[in-house]
Chain A
Amino acid sequence: MLTKIVKSREFFLAVFIIIFAALITSVNPNFLTLENIADLLKSYTVLGIFALGVLLVLLSGGFDLSFTAIAQVAQYTVVYFFVEYEVDNVFFAIIATMVIGSLLGFVNGFVIYYYRITAIIVTIATNSIYIGFLYVVTGGDLLYDIPESFSFLSDTKIFPMLNESGAEVGICVGTGFWFLLCIALHLFIKHTVLGRSILGIGGNQLSAKRAGFNIRRTTIFIYTFVGALAGFASLIQCAVFQSVVPNSMVGHEMDVIAAVVLGGAAVTGGRGNVLGTFLGVLLFAVLSNGLTLMKISPFYYQIFTGAVILLSVSVNALQELHRRHSQIRVQVREDK
């Protein structure tokens, strides 16, 4: 049991995060303050929520490259109309972004299931279509007028504490939602039939069909759900940045997918978990923040993250090679 934990991807990531955090703290003690950690988590909340959606898609053996475009559309539409009609209610906004996100995600799921087209191709196409529409309709205009209530997600603290200068610090509500979603998704994957069917399809689609899993419902659910999460994340994004920029998220899909893969999810489907994904995002956050605090040029960040991904994937690949090599194929008779 213990060796199993030590050999796991999550353990590897956790150790890496701790080592790196210790290293940063020794150079710059400001790293390990509640203020810095809370800020860091806040700025990675959007990526963290996107990652949960991507995890679900990868678990099913699918792929999604359109979630950022979905997020942009949902965000722009909601902010535009809420300002236009002076509706200043964050809860309605959450529902509205999620509904828009679900609808756009549903289109993905529908096309992928009914036309049996590879998910990566469908979502490359819908990414283009969604974001293209947004540019055409808005002319690429930015929105700076964000309804005030939205800052509930980014500024309200869950357990506020005061720092030396008397300012409130703590984990913000948006980050709290991220943590809640992590727990909920973990339980969903482990303990519901729908959650297991996602893993089942990713593990072996033919077996899933023969065992009686509902492939249609599951496929459509996954992409709809990713859309809903993307919509929700987009609202936190505009609350944090206090602006809506039509191309602020699109183009960053690979960062999200990289974090999920780093967290141990297999691109071939069936493998991955919420804890790994969470740690993958956390490692990215610590890396980027650490490099800044250690006054290393941010240009190194990409090289670093790339190297970490390669390293962690190689560890697993080597283990697998070793396992295959030492497999007993023939009971060889010993020398007498």
Chain B
Amino acid sequence: MFIQAQQITKQYGGVTALDHVDFDVEKGEIHGLVGVNGCGKSTLMKIIAGAEQPTSGKILIDGVQKPPYDPAQAMHYGIGIIYQDLSLFPNFSVFENICMTKILSSGQKIIRSGKYRAGVLEVLEEMGIELDLDAELGDLPIARQQLVAITRALFNRSRLVILDEPTTALTGSEISHLFGILRRLKEKGVSFVFITHKIRELKEVCDRITVFRDGHHVCTRRNNDSLNIAEIEEAMLGHSLTYKDYPSNAKDEVLLEVEHLSKKNNFRDISLTLHKGEILGIAGQLGSGRTELAKALFGAEPPDEGSVMVEGQKADVSSISSSVKAGFAYVPEDRLALGLVLAQSIRRNATICSLKKLSNFAGYLNLKRYKGLAKELLSELLVKYGKISDPISSLSGGNQQKIVIAKWLAVNPKILILDSPTVGIDVGAKSSIYDTVHKKAAEGMGFIFISDELPELLSNCDRIAVMSHGRISAVRPAKSLSAEELQALITKQED
């Protein structure tokens, strides 16, 4: 056993973030840690990495109890943490990024980094990868930057590397490559904690999986054939999610016709139709081009060629404003970065797309209508909030996502594109989002629903298109499909 955290409790003021949790990592193990946002998984990792001190509880390393320690001490114990933002320097060379922590901890004033070169090359060989050490970090794609961060951790002699949501920004093939490296290092005795909310990835690479919920340790399970994804999901959420059987609202009128849409290095020759009131699912692995397609339709990353018709009229998707005018709206995958203005109030976020509608010809805002609309939107989606003037960051993830959807519903788009709309949110918020989607579909709105969760797609969609390598490889009616068949369609096309 490399590290054992026993009965760890962490309180911030009156709030208990962790409540007597146990967690351990064996030598040469990849240990997956899952839970919805705010379940305490990040707090525990910060405690293990020395960035936070526990209120009570003890930590044993190699079986020896350690007094409270700081990040520098944690590094000395062989614990490295790679935050989601990687904490690298874009303006430094790869080499300098790798050895900077060591230079600083050595206390030298004049930098003599030449002596570290051999050590860095040794680590790279151990990982089985090559990096251009003299390249500037900022010029590398995210996946390579991540390898730099891992190299740095190993160069600092980490025996346990904590990876906080490492796959968020990676494509499918990059994830497989990363997993290959983790397995290789595991054989050499390095341990990993792998934090994510994508259960499918855990199943692929982890030896054991631990689930946290509301600051409690729910269960730790060995990853073997008997492990059921649904079971982990249930542990994460506290109760199982039953998918309703919604009636189809699809009408005969064609709403959207996409023909031979292509964008270099993104997707090729995409043709699809969407009917009024229809919900079209798009399945596919990360890096299959589905998010890129959504962004192209929304005008954020305009396509190179092909045509888009909305209600029989040619639609201009060369910019976001023209695409919105044509009737598109888009709820992005990364709501924090792209969907919300975090420092502003709930009301402002909810009405941000409707300001034009709420103001007169001179641009003067009708405050009464403005306030009325905000209230209306929030109650329609059952958003739970304190005061409407509170910052949006005060809401839970599920309620934030409802507001991202609400702000677009307010402008009455013809087609709403939802990219992974229920990632990391609780069951209650999920089902109210599903209900809203179907209600709007009944009114004739068309939906393009992108998701990793296959049961979610199967329960909500009328038809499902499968994408791989930037192309549509299959389109099937959802009713006639099982989760296994859909999974087979997705993976088959990847080979």
Q: Are A191 and B111 in contact (CB under 8 A)?
A: yes
Contact B89 A331 (CB under 8 A): no
Query: Which residues of chain A are near B85, meaning CB under 8 Å?
Result: 206-207
Within 8 A of B (CB), among A225-251: none
Considering only residues 286-329 of chain B, those with a C-beta below 8 Å from chain A are 287-289, 292
Identify the stretch in A26-34, A107-115, A194-202 within 8 Å (CB) of chain B at 4 or more residues.
Answer: A194-202
| Residues in A whose Cβ lies below 8 Å from that of B267 | 330, 332
A193 interfacial by beta-carbon distance below 8 Å: yes
| CB atoms of A332 and B87 under 8 A apart | no
Q: Do B111 and A330 have beta carbons less than 8 Å apart?
A: no
Neighbour of B89 across the interface among A200, A212, A326, CB < 8 A: A200
| Residue B171, interface by CB 8 Å | yes
CB contacts (< 8 Å) of A270 on chain B: these are 89-91
**Chain B contacts for A332, CB-based, 8 A:** 264-268, 289, 469-471
CB distance from B59 to the nearest CB of A (A): 20
Interface residues in A315-336 by Cβ distance below 8 A to B read 326-333
B104 on interface, CB distance cutoff 8 Å: yes
Q: For B240, what are the chain A residues with a Cβ–Cβ distance below 8 Å?
A: none
With A191-B111, A212-B104 in contact, is A329–B91 under 8 Å at CB? no
How many angstroms from the CA of A191 to the CA of B109 in the assembled complex?
A: 9
A327 adjacent to B100 (CB under 8 Å): no
Is B265 a contact of A326 with CB atoms below 8 Å? yes
Residues of A close to B105: CB separation below 8 A: 212
Is B101 a contact of A330 with CB atoms below 8 Å? no
- A residues less than 8 Å from B72 (CB atoms): 212
A208 to B265, CA, bound (A): 34
User: What is the number of residues of chain B that contact chain A, defined by CB distance less than 8 Å?
Assistant: 37
Known: A203-B92, A204-B89, A271-B91. A330 touches B266 (CB 8 A): yes
Contact residues, B51-109 vs A (CB, 8 A): 71-72, 83, 85-92, 96, 100-101, 103-105, 108-109
- Chain A residue contacts of B266, Cβ below 8 A: 329-330, 332
Q: How far is the CA of A210 from the CA of B97 in the complex (A)?
A: 13
B83 — which chain A residues lie within 8 A by C-beta? 210
Quote the shortest CB–CB distance from A245 to chain B (angstroms). Answer: 39
A204→B105 CA distance, assembly (Å): 19
Task: Check B87 against A204 for contact (C-beta < 8 Å).
Answer: yes
Q: Is the Cβ of B265 less than 8 Å from the Cβ of A327?
A: yes
Closest to A208 in B: B89
* A192 pairs with B109, CB closer than 8 A: yes
CB distance from A193 to the nearest CB of B (A): 6
Quote the shortest CB–CB distance from B267 to chain A (angstroms).
Answer: 6
What is the CA–CA distance of A328 and B85 in the complex, to the nearest angstrom? 21
Q: List 25 A-B contacts (CB under 8 A).
A: A193-B109, A193-B111, A196-B92, A196-B96, A199-B89, A199-B91, A200-B89, A200-B92, A203-B89, A204-B87, A207-B88, A207-B89, A210-B71, A210-B87, A211-B101, A212-B104, A328-B265, A329-B266, A329-B289, A330-B292, A330-B469, A331-B173, A331-B470, A332-B469, A333-B469
Taking beta carbons and an 8 Å cutoff, which residues of A are in contact with B? 191-194, 196, 199-200, 202-204, 206-208, 210-213, 270-271, 326-333
B interface vs A, CB < 8 Å? 71-72, 83, 85-92, 96, 100-101, 103-105, 108-111, 141, 171, 173, 264-268, 287-289, 292, 468-471
Known: A194-B109, A332-B469. 16 other contacts (CB 8 A): A191-B110, A192-B111, A200-B89, A204-B88, A206-B87, A211-B89, A211-B100, A212-B105, A270-B90, A329-B265, A330-B469, A330-B470, A331-B287, A332-B265, A332-B471, A333-B468
